[in-house]
Amino acid sequence: MSLLADVLTVLLNGLQQGAIFALLAVGLSIILGTLKFVNFAHGALYVVGTYTGLLVAHEIALTSGKLQSWGFTSLGLDLGFFAALVVVPLFVFVVGLGMERFVARPFYDRPDTDQILVTFGLAIVVQELFRILFGSNSLPFDQPAWAAGPIALPVVGNFSQWRLYVIAITAVLVLVVYALVEYTDFGLVVRAGTRDAEMVRLLGIKITRPYIVVFGIGAALAGVAGVVGGPLNVVNPTVGTDILVPAFLTVVIGGVGSIVGAVIGGVIFGLTTATLVAVAPAWSQIGLYAIAAVILLTRPQGILGNEEVAP
């Protein structure tokens, strides 16, 4: 394989990994930038999306966990991946609405530390619930049949079809969310509420309605990330915790509240991870934190963030 082919392969792998980071980061960013709420349970929404997608798309064999001890040897609807891509965002959107109403809203006026503690505690509860039900073993999440196997690309040669689909799905979803926030009346109310919520209320607009929808959208994006990332990563109860810190770093270096910044941060992290895995695997995780440190030292508010929302 030529040097150019190696470089392009690393680039595509980086874009795919960056796409997962971006989906999570966009949801985190709009919640943190709009509602000023630090949601450490965002990784738990990723877990919910992964397991829900797995159960909708496939029938899985249960080898451990409480469900198996109750007599369940297998579980799942086996409706296919398209069904999962429809059902999961809707389900996790509803979960997000409930989380905003009963978890986030009572803590909007509380310190960040309180928000972190309550959401991190919720994440641990979700993680342990899935561990009890399904066990600690990793479950297989097969790629959809219509995207399984390699595809021949010019110069690159064979490359995973599903990785390309992940990039495409992420691009479409991010563009839809960006258009919703930037070019609709709903987005105008949300952005106005971010700048001066009291003035919006004085104009007779119930700001809680768009807020709960924003939270639901952010949750749905995390759910989609869980579905599309499931076939590429392990599926176990701790996967949400593992991906939470990189997702937050993506938001911070991209700029809190900036959708474009979240995408840029995701691409930077994805390309960094793919490059280091290819040339120096032992440094792959260290590289993420090193880049985050450099960016935050030179631009504390992030690449496209505003100083008033800088961490």
Domain of 131: which CATH number? 1.10.3470
Residue 186 in any domain: the answer is: yes
Residue 217 structure tokens: 């959208």
Residue 309 in any domain: the answer is: no
Residue 71 in any domain: the answer is: yes
Question: Which parts of the chain register pLDDT below 50?
Answer: 309-311
| Torsion from C-alpha of 229, 104, 258, 124, nearest 10 degrees | -30
Residue 22 in any domain: the answer is: yes
Residue 32 in any domain: the answer is: yes
pLDDT at 209: 87
pLDDT at 136: 93
Dump pLDDT digits (tens) for 241-265. 999 989 999 998 999 888 999 999 9
Residue 202 in any domain: the answer is: yes
pLDDT at 207: 81
**Boundaries of domain holding 71:** 2-149+157-298
Residue 306 in any domain: the answer is: no
Total count of domains within the chain: 1
pLDDT at 169: 96
The model's pTM: 0.94
Cross-strand pairs, 152: 158
Distance CA 148, CA 163 (A): 10
pLDDT at 57: 96
pLDDT at 311: 46
Residue 11 in any domain: the answer is: yes
pLDDT at 18: 94
pLDDT at 307: 57
